[in-house]
Amino acid sequence: MESPPSTNDRLSRPTTSNVLETQEQHFLGASLILTNEEKIVNSHIMKLKRFELEEGFKNDFDLIPARHFFEKLEQLNSSKLFQLIRRIPKGAVLHIHDSSMGSTDLLINATYRPYLWQNGRFEQNTPPTFLFSKTNPTGMGWELVSDIRNEMKADIYDEKLRDLFEIYTKDPINTYRSTNVVFEKFRQIFYTLAPIINYKPVWRQYYYDSLKVYYDDQINYLELRGVLPDVYDLTGKIYTPEEIVQIYLNETERLMKNYPSFLGAKFVYTPARFGGDDVFRGVINTFKSLHEKFPNFVAGFDLVGQEDKRILLLNFVPDLLKLPESIQFFFHAGETNWFGMESDSNMIDAILLGTKRIGHGFALIKHPLLLEEIKQKQICIEINPTSNQMFKLMEDHRNHPAAFLFADDYPVVVSSDDRCFWRAALLSHDFYMAFVGIASAQHDLRLLKQLAINSIRFSAMDKIDQNKALRKWEGMWNSTMSTLASDILSGKLA
């Protein structure tokens, strides 16, 4: 039987402060050294963070990250810490979807275009159907949107549209009682939106306006995922995938011409993971053609769709292995709470296929061997905090598994997924949740800075363009730090 430790043994052990200090040296961003101006900003931002955490520690029912996003949205938007985070340049956006990258207002504005028809009213059990057409579409019940809007009054009609285009509700807990319910509403939004957003003039303008919104928020580069749907015009023409990508490229170049500091965008082809072998082989052929024609714009391949529907990445491996090695994978994987069920294997197959990034990776922490691979191979995890809460993977951001990734300097970025559908800001809401809810109370400005650096470092840009983007971001960051430090010292920023 071992003897109890002596007093000298106990005294020679590390103290709590020693352990905490050593632990903090492993934090994401811990190696960064702050300038004097950054230290001033850091002191202020940590004061705001500690205040919110202390108030939440007294009553965690009032802690913003602990409650559903919809319940605390008004309080969040008025938070001084959130307002400060909005001003900080956040680098690039690496995980967004094309049809939800803009805003609901942009979508509603699109319904003011002429020749938009509607079949069905809002009070019916199924959502109305929309279509742009010069003449009344075939079938009963079609009415011009302009006529319905005039009848109902514009503000009332537009609010009905907003309810259709968003999953927002004042009672999220009872409205969305399971992940499947959320996904069903999600699919319904896409189905309803498709005939509106897939109309070529809307498609083109929505994409350009969305890029401009990101640019205005000091985001100079983004990578969007898209399914390349049937884009159409009033002549009845259905545009090919090549023509759709060309529209993207044209609008990207138009913004770069109008705003030279914008560094551009890349496209990740992300078809649905549903469909038979013949359908998927057609998808693969389409992607190969796009990659050959637009090698600098079509950055990679992904698959989208609810993983818990048991359509596994493994099913597509034989065809994926036939793609050229020059093609990069950015797979959605691990967006599940199930441990050991079929959908839990997608992360394994994504890594075995050589994915460069993993979208969500929520289940990653349950797989120690995969964690080792992630760190060794520097496979970036695209964390989407607000999205994960929306789809009920967790209710309280303090329980988000990315806390472990932040604590041990894993390769991660923070992004916003389908943020338009739940009224989230471009990146600021997700950065706030990461900083206050997921990260340690001791994580400071260095975390936010490292997340921004990572968003460029793990992008699909080549090294030359990455270095160019990093220099551009550093200029924005330093300028912002100088302004914020001045505002803090002068008392303008309380």
SS (H, E, C) the chain: CCCCCCHHHHHHCCCHHHHHHHHHCCCCCCCCCCCHHHHHHHHHHHHHHHHHHHHHHHCHHHCHHHCCHHHHHHHHHCCHHHHHHHHCCCCCEEEEEHHHCCCHHHHHHHCCCCCEEEECCCCCCCCCEEEECCCCCCCCCEEEHHHHHHHHCHHHHHHHHHHHHCCCCCCHHHHCCCHHHHHHHHHHHHHHHHHHHCEHHHHHHHHHHHHHHHHHCCCCEEEEEECCCCCECCCCCECCHHHHHHHHHHHHHHHHHHCCCCCEEEEEECCECCCCHHHHHHHHHHHHHHHHHCCCCEEEECCECCHHHCCCHHHHHHHHCCCCCCCEEEEEECCCCCCCCHHHHHHHHHHHCCCCEEEECCCHHHCHHHHHHHHHHCCEEEECHHHHHHCCCCCCHHHCCHHHHHHCCCCEEECCECHHHHCCCCCHHHHHHHHHHHCCCCCCHHHHHHHHHHHHHCCCCCHHHHHHHHHHHHHHHHHHHHHHHHHHHHCCCC
Environment class of 463 (CB within 10 Å of its CB; exposed 0-12, middle 13-18, buried 19+): exposed
What is the predicted pLDDT for the residue at 39? 98
Q: How far apart (Å, rounded) are the C-alpha atoms in residues 360 and 371?
A: 14
**Active-site option among 97, 335, 397, 443:** 335
| Domain boundaries, position 147 | 114-165
Residues 118 and 91 in one domain: no
Same domain, 98 and 149: no
Q: What is the pLDDT of residue 278?
A: 81
CATH of the domain at 412: 3.20.20.140
pLDDT tens readout for residues 183-192: 889 889 989 9
Same domain, 142 and 231: no
Residue 6 lies in a domain: no
pLDDT of residue 308: 67
The answer to whether residue 7 is domain-embedded is no
Residue 291 annotated as catalytic = no
Do the domain assignments include residue 306?
yes
The answer to whether residue 183 is domain-embedded is: no
Q: Do 328 and 242 fall within a single domain?
A: yes
Q: Are residues 97 and 124 in the same domain?
A: no
What's the pLDDT score for residue 217? 82
Catalytic residue, candidates 360, 367, 397, 429: 360
Catalytic site includes residue 26: no
Q: Note whether residue 295 is domain-resident.
A: yes
Claim to verify: residue 400 and residue 428 sit in the same structural domain: yes
**Residue 346: how many other CB atoms lie within 10 Å:** 24
Residues 387 and 339 in one domain: yes
> Quick check: is 175 in a domain?
no
Question: pLDDT tens digits for 366-404?
Answer: 999 999 999 999 999 999 999 999 989 999 999 999 999
Q: What is the pLDDT of residue 123?
A: 80
Q: pLDDT at position 275, please?
A: 66
Pair (249, 392) in one structural domain: yes
Query: d(Cα 133, Cα 119) in Å, to the nearest integer?
Result: 12
Report the C-alpha dihedral over residues 352, 355, 356, 357, rounded to 10 degrees: -110
User: Do 413 and 432 share a structural domain?
Assistant: yes
In degrees, rounded to 5, the angle at the alpha carbon of residue 379 between the alpha carbons of residues 330 and 318 is: 50
Looking at residue 34, its pLDDT comes to: 97
149 and 268 together in one domain:
no
The predicted model scores a pTM of: 0.92
Residues 369 and 460 in one domain: yes
Q: Which of 214, 246, 213 is nearest to 228 (CA)?
A: 246
Is the residue at 366 inside a domain? Answer: yes
Could you give the CA distance from residue 484 to residue 476 in angstroms, rounded to a whole number? 12
Number of domains making up the chain: 2
The Cα–Cα gap between 303 and 313 comes to: 8
Same domain membership, residue 128 and residue 97: no
The pLDDT score that the predictor gives to residue 7 is: 54
Flag whether 270 is in a domain.
yes
Which residues, given as ranges, of the chain have pLDDT below 50? none
